Amino acid sequence: MTARRLLPLLAIPVLVPALAACQQAKDARDGAQSIKQASSVNCVENRRVFELAVESYLLLENPTVISEADMVPDYIKVESPYFDLDAQGNIIPAPGSACATP
């Protein structure tokens, strides 16, 4: 074989792993984006459930002051690690939770 024909054959073992590495980097970026989207969906769903529990508690119990601890165990199983209630009874993201905006 001549050198011209041999060079492309020698390049194949170098190019194939390089192209595979590019695909792995793309897969890692796609995976990171999917995790962010899943976390966002999780926060939206947790907030919706928490809002429903608060509304039910307010309608059925008619309290003058509401606290998250008062809703356990009849309206929520445990206090939410994602959301809290402020002094006015508004739902706010819990500090340091995945649902708190950076």
Instruction: Report the DSSP beta bridge partners of residue 85.
Output: 91
Residue 41 has a pLDDT of: 85
Q: How many CA atoms lie within 13 A of 74 on its CB side?
A: 9
pLDDT band at 11 (very low <50, low <70, confident <90, very high): low
Q: Is 92 a residue whose pLDDT tops 70?
A: yes
Look at the pTM and tell me if it is higher than 0.75: no
Q: Is the pLDDT of residue 34 over 70?
A: no
At 42-68, the pLDDT tens digits run 899 999 999 999 999 999 998 988 899
Token pair in block for residue 2: 């001549």
